[in-house]
Amino acid sequence: MQEVHASELELQVGDLVLIDWPRTRWDHRRGRLHELREEPGRRSYGFVLLDGITVRYPFARLQRA
């Protein structure tokens, strides 16, 4: 799978995002992007606020809602 970076998705903290993760309980859930984390040499993640809980997702699984 190709690595996706936050700058490619043009997501910003506070954006409403849709989680695209088939066959999981998170598929098609919407939440607010709380934090973006990109560390050199590691997978990039976004932290999404869902039902009062912040959950970490790979950027590849997030899209603008």
Looking at residue 8, what is its pLDDT?
55
Hey, is 17 helix, strand or coil? strand
35 near 46, Cβ under 8 Å? yes
pLDDT tier at 2 (50, 70, 90 boundaries)?
very low
Looking at residue 1, what is its pLDDT?
43
Looking at residue 9, what is its pLDDT?
58
Kindly list the structural domains of the chain, giving each domain's residue range(s) and its CATH number in brackets, ordered by start.
6-64 (2.30.30)
Q: Tens digit of pLDDT for each residue in 5-52?
A: 545 558 889 999 999 888 888 788 999 999 999 888 888 899 999 988
User: Strands (DSSP E) along 7-59, which ranges?
Assistant: 16-19, 30-37, 45-50, 53-58
The alpha-helical segments, DSSP class H, found in 11-60 are none
Long-range contacts of 52-57 (CB under 8 A, 24+ apart): 55/26, 55/31, 57/19, 57/21, 57/26
